[in-house]
Amino acid sequence: MSDLSEVKPSSIAHIIGQSHVKSVVTVALDYAHQESKKFDHSMMLGGAGLGKTALSQIIAQEMATDFIDLLGQSINSVADLNAVLLSAQDRSIVFIDEAHELSKSLQTTLYLALDQRKILVHGGSNKAPISIPIADFTLLLATTDEYLLLQPLRDRMKLVLRFEYYSTDELSLILKQRITGLKWEVDDSVLHQIALKGKGTPRLALRLLESAHRVSRSLGDQDITQDHLQRACDLEQIDELGLGPTEQKYLQIISSGPTRLNVISSTLGLPSRTVSEVTEPYLIRSGLIAKDDQGRRTITAKGQSHLSDQCHIEEQK
């Protein structure tokens, strides 16, 4: 096996971190098994790459049932939704990623279908709609913003699983687990360096591992060294903390004093919403920037020291 995605975690015991989510899911699985019931409808909350899809696949495996994998934005009409609901069997796991992309009217159709265990299909212009029963499946909704889901739909989700960002040690363990499965040779110190640049997110850490592996193999090497990792970071244009070019430029912009969001976004050439939803969250979470009373963005002492470290590194190159 040489592909990173071929050695995904395959049982709940392989999931590293997320202890609260794991406890809730373990109780729900044991309950379902003891009572011979389906797994309860659940809502998974948290940023991209934290393991929502991986956990959903594991739930399907533990329940020994089929896994129907969908994306909110690919369900555009009642007919699309009906096709999904009709394809599910009793106990199937129907996973809808980015569920907040479902229109309000589809969310309504969905919770009514869950309540009534049937759907209405319109036969023709003057024919009465016919109702078709649907199976007793499990709905798993994943979203980054629960408040974009209608309250009645949220209320029908019996379990709420909140995914947290991972610590550096947890990311190191995830990387270690993955390289063991792949039989790649990587020093613990290199894994730790990758974990530090992973922004608390397994997908990002694994992506950097893959990138360093690509560099190593491109040179005909077997193991992954600090030099391979450095080259991978240069290619990916990420710095010591895993910040990309936009985040680095953001820090430079605000380093001269408190700055308004609209000024930052026009300097970066990005919509304000992208800056506040994509660029800023990690910078805030990691304490590199803060907002003042008037909502202006300021650089923290930590942010300032990161910026000067990067300047020294650039000068030494």
> Contact residues for ligand ADP (CB under 6 A)?
8-9, 15-18, 48-54, 174, 202-203, 206
Is position 265 an interface residue for Mg ion (rule: CB under 5 A)?
Answer: no
Is position 53 an interface residue for Mg ion (rule: CB under 5 A)?
Answer: yes
Which CB atom, from 17 or from 303, has the smaller least distance to ligand ADP?
A: 17
Which CB atom, from 109 or from 143, has the smaller least distance to Mg ion?
A: 143
Residue 206 CB, nearest approach to Mg ion (Å): 13
Which CB atom, from 57 or from 255, has the smaller least distance to ligand ADP?
A: 57
**For the stretch 32-52, what's the b/e string if a residue is b when 16 or more beta carbons lie within 10 angstroms of its beta carbon?**
beeeeebbebbbbbbbebbbb
Site string for Mg ion, 73-112 (x = CB under 5 A): ------------------------x---------------
Q: How far apart are CA 99 and CA 144, in angstroms?
A: 9
**Could you say which of ligand ADP, Mg ion, none residue 15 binds, taking C-beta under 5 to 8 angstroms by partner kind?**
ligand ADP
Which tokens sit at 53? 């899809």
Closest residue to bound ligand ADP by CB: 51
* Residues counted in the chain: 317
Q: Pick the stretch among 46-54, 146-154, 201-209, 242-250 that binds Mg ion (CB under 5 A).
A: 46-54
Closest residue to bound Mg ion by CB: 53
Residue 289 CB, nearest approach to ligand ADP (Å): 24
Which CB atom, from 44 or from 224, has the smaller least distance to Mg ion?
A: 44
- Provide the binding-site residues for Mg ion, judged by CB under 5 A: 53, 97
